[in-house]
Structure 1
Amino acid sequence: MGAFLSQAMAKTSPPSSRRRKRSVMRRNAAGSRGRSLWARVRAPLLALLLVGLGAGLTWLVWLDVQIRDRFEGQRWAVPARVFARPLVIEPGAWLRPEHLVETLRLLRYRKVARVREPGEYRRAGDTVYLYTRGFPFPADTAPELLARVDFADGRVVRLREALTGRALELVRVEPVPIASIYPASREDRILVRLADVPELLIQALLVVEDRHFYTHHGLDPMAVLRAAWANLRAGRTVQGGSTLTQQLVKNYFLSNERTLRRKLNEAAMALLLEAHYDKDEILEAYLNEVYLGQDGRRAIHGFALGAQFYFARRLGQLKPEQIALLVGLIKGPSYYNPRRHPQRARARRDLVLTLLEREGVLSAREAAEARGRPLGVTAKAPGGSTPYPAFIQLVREQLHRDYREEDLRGEGLMVFTTLDPLLQHRAERAVTQRLKALERARGIEAGTLEAAVVVMQPRSGDVLALVGGRRPGYAGFNRALQARRPVGSLIKPAVYLTALEEPAHYTLATLLDDTPFTVQLGGGKRWSPRNYDRKGHGRVLLIDALARSYNVATARLGLDLGLRRVVRTLQRLGLERRVDPFPSLVLGAVDLTPLEVARLYQPLASGGLAPEPRAVLAVAGPDGRLDRRYALKIRRVAEPVPVYLVETAMQEVVRTGTA
């Protein structure tokens, strides 16, 4: 009965009540379905979140490892710098004022009306005033010095300090840089410590590039917002918001690609870099890394090299307007290149000076004076490639005995060589002029003939000049070191030295037989030496046989002495190449390079002493401390008397012989 009543009541319930029940049922069903959907997706979402966190942490750890691996080791591959022999000015030294001025020009000294600063000079007749820059030599540091040099008859007659008149014993001018041995990246820089950087440069850098450097932690959100607003108002990119730390990360660790991934890496690495290293270390790295220009394939990095590249000055010698220009170049080294776009560069420099004035770094007077000065950039940038490739090849060959190639390319070594730049230039001019004259005189097609030159100091073996061909700056086939040619009569002094070392049998007055003869060789061959004039001269004095270069007399003498004895003499004189004792050897049927011939003649020019050829004097580390000194290696290979007699006979070649 109760059930029947309930069913009857349900059937007679109003429609509104039934709708409310269905709504409640739908909500309950929806809630049930929602709970079941969350239950289904909760685990995958949590898994994805964990994977994302893991990937993010892995990414950060990987970036952290990259930063510490590169930043805690050797940060840069710094090329070795190769220098010529420094010019030493002493009273009594053979030196002309024009030669001193030529050296100063090679060093990019500035000719001025009044010498006031390092790197300037003035010539007044036979007097030269110069203000040396100073230089960290391996043994000591040459100071900056304002000197007066007086000349007469091709000599230095007086050497004094220009201001006080105090007599000076010597003045060392810094050596001419002649080459760099670059790493594969072709990046060039001179490392500098933060303590050696002018305070004005640091202040200017922070004012222009990152005013909150010492307060932010790698990122500066306010700077980003200011830059975004400025760019929005201008309708183009006119301002950047990157901190110095971000710029360092981008230049040192990352590429220049403009992608979101690179920007994220940059931001994260900037934060990590700031977490591991203090501000001064980051600032020092930035000062050495910043890109300031291009010289052909060579990239100019760091303010120290920038100072040399643009102003031929050391960093500590820069004036306020020069510092402002270098800081201004950071924004666009190519766009503001002062040699190509001086007006742009000056406007940018003046803007930096105005900012320094506004921030109180410079007074109004200092800023106005700086804006009124010219750019002061040297007219020509120093070339990135060496003008002396033939000599540098010899330098590298000698260095490779003690240094690996990667050391030369990356350790920042300072290599001091024996090259005399003035003598080198004279040798190059002599080759060019003489070859042209020979081609005109003989009717030979222009550019056909080739030559090589080796100039060595007799007693030390120092290679003072070396020309590898008629195009001295061409880094191709080096004839001075690689061209083996028959030496001909150049070998004859060794034959006569062998004879004169037996004074009981041979003197300069000994009579030699110059009549033709024939030697029977193996295999039915014969050898019949002939004189240049195709004549025999009978009995001739030994001194005349050498002075007139008689082949027949020399051949007889060599055979009488014994070919093996002549070979031993050649080896004593310095010949390292193996030669066979054939009769034609005594007339120069042996192929040698110009350097080998020069080495053979060293003992004849030094009284019997045989110094090893030397192109490197010393090697220092990037801090100037001596790493290795290349001492003289001299041995006596002949007694002075027979060497003197050979030298006397060779002088007759010029006076009365075939020269």
Structure 2
Amino acid sequence: LYLDLLVKSKFNGKRWELPTRVYARPLELYPGKKIEPYLIEKELKRLGYISSSVVAKSGTFLRKGDRFYIFTRKFTFWDGEEPAKRVRLLIRNGEVLSIKDLSRGKRYLSIIRLDPILIGSFYPKTNEDRILIKLKDTPKLLIYALISIEDKNYYKHHGIDPKALIRALLANIRAGATVQGGSTITQQLVKNFYLSSERTLWRKLNEAIMAILLELHYSKDEILETYINEVFLGQQGRYAVHGFALASEFYFGRPLNELKLHHFALLAGIVKGPSYYNPKRHPKRALKRRNQVIDAMVRNGYITAEEAEAAKKRKLGVVKHAGLHTRFYPAFMDLVRRQLREDYKESDITTEGLKVFSTLSPYVQEMVEKGVQKGLSSLERRRGLKRGTLQCAVVVTNPKNGDVLAIIGGRNSSMYGFNRALDAVRQIGSLIKPAVYLTAIEEGYTLITPIRDYPISLRQKNGSIWRPKNYDHTYHGVVPLHVALSHSYNLATVRLGLKIGLKDVLITLKKLGVKRKIDKYPSMLLGAVSMTPFEVTQMYQSIASGGFYTPLRAIRAVVTSDGLPLKRYGISVKKVFSSESIFLLNTMLKEVVKEGTGRPLRYLLNRDIEVAGKTGTTNDLRDSWFAGFTNEYLSVVWVGRDDNKPCGLTGSSGALRIWADIMNLLRPSSIVLIKPTGIEYVLIDPVSNLRANSYCENAVAFPFIKGTAPIKMASCEKRYFYIKNKEKKKRRKGILQWLRDLF
């Protein structure tokens, strides 16, 4: 009675704890999309698509120059199922020209979506991993291979096979050792599903009784389906690979329905001893076992001798990489887990088999990792630092919607550990200054409003005197607002911040998305404020997006293991600053790169593109920052040391260079600032900062919020005629001197 209750309770209840699977963003292709052909091919290979001269099966493709023939896979997304399609894709000059569906009436498609790359999982405490599959979806050849080698009388016996037991006993007696087992598939399931691995007569007796009880209560198909999902087939580190669906990904890098006869035979052969017959470690042993399975399939009439001979000639076909995921994204997975915890219990995250569709771009992540490795090595060589001295954190987002495309928590991006992108709280230096200048613009300042860049002394609450200095240890007199920001003048910024009010600057920071408590001290105006790189990215996201606060998101949607939608993480947008104010600020941030502290980008970038950004440097050169954005990417880079000792790098000599290395690999397009209707351009005389007339030379067109530009015209006439007369006298004097020299 006890054994009967045990059999029914577990089989009727929740059979397995399933890990949550996290997927990268799916690659969407549509006419007009900018993408190079090699990137499409790279994505297909990441997904395990096979290059083939005949594209007749799901998961295959053929590339002919700028033309692709792709047989996509069926995949269930958060918004429904995407059927498999055979399509022809044309690329011209790095842009998708057309997509033709070759499998459904040869019509043209507006968009296709490839299945997403699996980037990681959150595992249960059992450390078991599996992908569930229904029996009706299991390839017949796999079932035939399994039954042939493990239990040829499966559909004839009632849980135990007396003939098989006697046959195994005689074989073992003749060999003088255990060379053959007599356990049925049902008995194997009972042993793995219910019992311990101890080898005693009592356990063997319980196994036989429970196998009979299992077959008494459940159908053969139900038992076989459970076995197909339960059987242990390998080990990846500390995670156990269970079930044939996951084993297919583990050994071949492809879904089960894309395998062929020789693959199925190998999987069925591994069942006897996943470690002993591991094809990655013991290929000869595994090959021999695979061929035994193929021979058994012939004996049982499932395949012909000709099919068997052809299958035996095939290689094992095992993928070279050593696991289910060829890449690891620990920093990004850390962010996903934290965002999931806002809506789900930890037990749900690790046991319910959720499918999480993330925002990660594997391509962007790869380019960021390469850029960081190149940049850090170069900085350490140039500074004569021991390799590994410097650390780095990078966050890359889409400035339009706040999607986190890539994230690196340290120089070794594939290792779990301290996630500097999310947890390294460091002073941000001059990265805070755009908030000061944005506050000033909101309060009526223009780009040419004069700011005093003179020494200043302030008595602090503890009685000490704070005397800020410019980085170049000099002062620059009265300068226009745009020059003060682009050249990052500290004295001008402090005077400006005190004039507009620290409270208003704090309000601006909060509106930009800074949630951390900041003390209201004058030193905060120069970045005596500590944040993580992720928090800085959130702040600059509101600037790069045109004044809209959009919470950074790493998750697009979550569905159940059955594909039912649980939650969509839509884009939340709130307008926090006027388009006009942000336009003026971003105009100044472009000037930072053109003429200010970010000007090294002009020769570091290998393409002539326009960028907006800001450098950041902290006291004693402990932290090097750069936040910059193009049309497609916003990226924040931090460089420093974990021991908080000086790294000897300014924002422009450190983080900016790594930012450039990353962008040279990503090849973005120039930032495009769309002029709001409330902005007008006015020619300004640079000498008087008044409206220029036709006599004003070197006049510059500055953007103004309508109604704020100077009304008074510059008196350039006197200066113009004075200069002209001076030039005439100089020319006349030159002619007279020439005549004297001649005669």
User: 1:627-646 residue pairs with structure 2 within 5 A?
Assistant: 627-646=566-585
Among 57, 68, 72, which residue is 1:128 paired with?
A: 68
Distance in 2, Cα, partners of 1:523 & 1:293: 65
In the alignment, the residues of structure 1 paired with residue 500 and residue 196 of structure 2 have an alpha-carbon distance, to the nearest angstrom, of 72
Structure-2 residue corresponding to 1:8? none
Q: 2:586 aligns with which of 638, 647, 657?
A: 647
Counterpart position of 2:654? none
- 2:457 equivalent in structure 1: 518
Q: In the alignment, which residue of structure 2 is the partner of 1:398?
A: 339
1:117 matched to 2:57: yes
1:370 aligns with 2:370: no
Per the TM alignment, residue 89 of structure 1 is displaced from its structure 2 partner at its CA by 1.2
CA contact (8 A) 1:295 1:384 kept: no
Same amino acid, percent of matched pairs = 50
Cα distance in 2, alignment partners of residues 110 and 128 from structure 1:
13
Whether 2:518 is the aligned partner of 1:586: answer no
Kindly provide the amino acid, as one letter, of the partner of residue 482 in structure 1: D
Q: 2-side partners of 1:86 and 1:408: how far apart?
A: 22
Aligned residue number for residue 508 of structure 1: 447
Cα shift readout 1:179-232 (whole Å, capped 9, x = no counterpart): 011112211111111221223322332222223323322222221111111222
Query: Is structure 2 residue 218 aligned with structure 1 residue 312?
Result: no
Please tell me whether residue 361 in structure 1 is matched to residue 302 in structure 2: yes
Instruction: After superposition, give the CA deviation of every residue in 1:295-346 in whole Å (9 maximum; x if it has no partner).
Output: 2222111111122222233223322222222111111222222222223222
SS in structure 1 at match of 2:272: coil
Q: Given that residues 466 and 480 in structure 1 are in contact (C-alpha distance below 8 angstroms), is that contact kept between their aligned partners in structure 2? A: yes
The residue type paired with residue 196 of structure 1 is D
Q: Is 1:469 matched with 2:410? A: yes
Deviation digits for residues 283-305 of structure 1 (CA, Å, limit 9, x no counterpart): 11111111111222221111111
Give the aligned partner of residue 709 of structure 2.
none
Question: 1:291 and 1:523 mapped to 2: Cα distance?
Answer: 67
- Contact 1:414 1:621 (8 Å CA) reproduced: yes
Paired residue for 2:141, among 189, 200, 221?
A: 200
Alignment of 1:158 onto 2:98: yes
Q: 1:89 maps to what in 2?
A: 29
Greater shift in the superposed pair: 239-248 or 291-300 = 291-300
Q: What CA deviation, in whole Å up to 9, does each residue of 1:446-496 have, x standing for no partner?
A: 110011001111121111110001000111110000001110100000001
SS in 2 for 1:180: strand
Mapping 1:151-230, distance limit 5 Å = 151-161=91-101, 166-230=107-171
CA shift for structure 1 position 572 = 0.6
Consecutive unaligned residues of structure 1, counting only runs of 5 or more, are 1-60
Structure 1 pair 540–237 and aligned structure 2 pair: CA distance change class (3 A): same
Q: RMSD value over aligned CA atoms?
A: 1.8
Q: Which residue in the other structure is 2:39 paired with?
A: 99
Asked if 1 retains the 8 angstrom alpha-carbon contact of 2:249 and 2:324, the reply is no
Alignment of 1:291-330 (within 5 A): 291-330=232-271
User: Contact between 2:59 and 2:258, CA under 8 Å: does it hold in 1?
Assistant: no
Q: 1:385 to 1:203 in 2, by over 3 A?
A: closer
- Identify which of 538, 541, 549 aligns with 1:610: 549
The partner residue of 2:229 within 285, 288, 293 is: 288
Quote the Cα distance in structure 2 between the aligned partners of 1:395 and 1:213. 44
2:401 corresponds to 1:460: yes
Match of 1:481, SS?
Answer: helix
Aligned partners of 1:104, 1:357: CA distance in 2, in Å? 36
SS in 2 for 1:513: strand
Q: TM-score, normalised by structure 1?
A: 0.87
Shift of 1:575: 0.6
Residue 434 of structure 1 pairs with residue 366 of structure 2: no
CA contact (8 A) 2:23 2:117 kept: yes
Instruction: Give the match's secondary structure for 1:595.
Output: helix
- Structure-1 separation of matches of 2:570 and 2:106: 36
Aligned-residue offset at 1:647: 0.2
In 2, the alpha carbon distance for the partners of 1:515 and 1:111 equals: 67
Q: Relative contact order, CA 8 A, sep 6+: which one is greater?
A: 1
Instruction: Provide closer, same or farther for how the CA distance between residues 533 and 500 of structure 1 changes in structure 2, counting only shifts above 3 A.
Output: same
Is the CA contact (8 Å cut-off) linking 1:483 and 1:593 kept in structure 2?
Answer: yes
2:501 corresponding residue in structure 1: 562
Aligned partners of 1:260 and 1:385: how far apart in 2? 44
Q: SS at the partner of 1:441?
A: helix
Moved more, 522-531 or 451-460: 522-531
Amino acid at match of 1:232: I
* TM-score calculated relative to the size of structure 2: 0.78
Q: Deviations over 1:529-565 (max 9, x none)?
A: 2111111111100010001101011101100011011
Please list every run of 5 or more consecutive structure 2 residues that lacks an aligned counterpart in the other structure.
599-743
- 1:11: which partner in 2? none
Shift of 1:78: 1.0
Larger radius of gyration: 1
For 1:358 and 1:312, the matched residues in 2 are separated by 30
Higher helix share: 1
Deviations 1:223-248 (A, max 9, x none): 11111112222333222111111100
Match of 1:79 among 19, 25, 31: 19
Residue 535 (structure 1) aligned with residue 483 (structure 2): no
